[in-house]
């Protein structure tokens, strides 16, 4: 069955659809739209994090909210635990990256391995012709298959988090909210009497949530204290371990003002793993916080792979406007990226994702970052 973007929901009449119901307003309205389009809809609540003593995890309440939505819509609701797969395929990688001093984005792996991995396969085994979610992104048929496009609501667009999903899976997926704006989604939920119409947006992954992240990570990653130094080697204090910091970070450094230095905030500029040293600089726009180039791991294509250099717009984090860049595919499948303008706090472990207009071309993990000064000299 072909994937169907929002405007063609009417074509879903009679289709057997399983939708991932998270207990939030987005998936609730997506289920409502599918039902109104005449699809035979069933819900799936995925339990991906199961620590019964975790006071910061809202999974129990989320399930009750999903049950209330399913009851209001008159659809069956299944509950499946993918906690073992989540821990093995997402969380262990998350910990390994932090131990290596990098900054991972577990949302990307969660979508590829869990929601559109074991979740999609589970739905298929139950006879679903289509698997749906409440993500803000669009799918549309093209000459090379189904393409992933940015949502109409650019402020809520989630295609960045979906770029690593295997391209062939999109033919079995429906994203009903791709044409919708968030304000309209909440209004639709309110007028339909859905019980979650005013529920705050989720932070995404349960194990992160609204929790003290330093304390949480300390349960799994050993603290390895070391020096906090300026870029000129002046010691300012002690860090808890490189795993607990990310480039561009300001909060939590606990170094305050220092005699002989300007009264400006300090920011993490680099990690010297060989000496276990955290390098900091003053000023939000300090040159050492900026990079002109990066090198990725193996590139994941959502369009036919390109062999020659090309230009595209690139995101290196979710909350960032796309930036013009030159992309150079390498013989080993990796990608060299050069920005037109230096970018701030580009971080190894995050993802570089490329676009042409609204079409997502694919992306990869950022492996190496080149400071603007060094990259300019090498150009």
222 vs 87, 100, 207, 251, 302, CA distance in Å?
A: 18, 12, 18, 20, 38
Number of other residues whose CB lies within 10 A of the CB of residue 124: 15
Helix (H, G, I), strand (E, B) or coil at 139: strand
Question: CB within 8 A of 15, min separation 6: which ones?
Answer: 1, 39, 40, 129, 130
In angstroms, the CA 67 to CA 85 distance is 24
Please tell me which residue in 57, 110, 174, 360 is annotated as part of the active site.
110
Could you report how far apart the first and last alpha carbons of the chain are, in Å?
47
In the chain, where does DSSP find H-type helix?
Answer: 25-36, 59-73, 83-86, 92-99, 106-109, 120-125, 159-162, 182-192, 213-218, 372-378
110 is catalytic: yes
Cβ–Cβ < 8 Å for 7, 153: no
Helix (H, G, I), strand (E, B) or coil at 211: coil
Would you put residue 233 in left (φ > 0), alpha (ψ -120 to 50) or beta?
left
174 is catalytic: no
In angstroms, the CA 282 to CA 278 distance is 13
Please tell me which residue in 57, 130, 174, 206 is annotated as part of the active site.
206
Catalytic residues: 110, 206
């Amino acid at each position: 069955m072909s994937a169907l973007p929002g405007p063609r929901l009417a074509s879903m009449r009679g289709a057997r659809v399983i939708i991932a119901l998270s207990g939030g307003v987005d998936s609730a309205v997506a289920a409502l739209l599918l039902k109104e389009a005449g699809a035979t809809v069933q819900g799936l609540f995925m339990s991906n994090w199961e620590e019964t003593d975790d006071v910061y995890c809202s999974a129990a309440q989320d399930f009750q909210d999903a049950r209330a939505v399913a009851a209001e819509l008159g659809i069956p609701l299944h509950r499946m635990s993918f906690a073992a797969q989540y821990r093995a395929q997402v969380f262990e990688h998350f910990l390994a990256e932090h131990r290596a001093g990098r900054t991972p984005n577990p949302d990307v792996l969660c979508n590829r391995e869990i929601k559109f991995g074991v979740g999609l396969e589970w739905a298929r085994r139950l006879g679903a012709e289509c698997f749906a979610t409440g993500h803000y992104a669009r799918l549309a048929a093209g000459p090379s298959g189904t393409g992933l496009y940015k949502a109409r609501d650019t402020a809520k667009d989630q295609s960045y988090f979906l770029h690593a999903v295997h391209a062939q899976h999109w033919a079995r997926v429906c994203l009903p909210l791709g044409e919708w704006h968030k304000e309209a989604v909440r209004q639709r939920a309110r007028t339909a009497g859905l019980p979650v119409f005013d529920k705050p947006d989720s932070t995404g992954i349960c194990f992160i949530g609204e929790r003290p992240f330093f304390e949480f990570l300390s349960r799994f990653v050993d603290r390895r204290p070391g020096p906090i130094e300026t870029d000129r080697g002046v010691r300012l204090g002690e860090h808890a371990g490189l795993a607990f910091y990310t480039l561009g970070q300001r909060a939590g450094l606990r170094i305050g003002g220092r005699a002989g230095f300007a009264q400006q905030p300090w920011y993490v500029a680099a990690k010297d793993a060989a000496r276990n040293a955290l390098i900091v600089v003053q000023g939000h726009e300090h040159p050492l916080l900026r990079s002109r180039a990066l090198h990725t791991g193996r590139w994941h294509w959502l369009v036919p792979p390109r062999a020659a250099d090309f230009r595209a717009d690139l995101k290196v984090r979710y909350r960032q406007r796309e930036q013009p860049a030159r992309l150079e595919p390498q013989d080993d499948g990796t990608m060299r990226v050069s920005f037109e303008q230096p970018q701030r706090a580009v971080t190894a472990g995050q993802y570089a994702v490329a676009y042409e207009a609204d079409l997502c071309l694919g992306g990869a993990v950022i492996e190496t970052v080149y400071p603007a000064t060094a990259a300019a000299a090498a150009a």
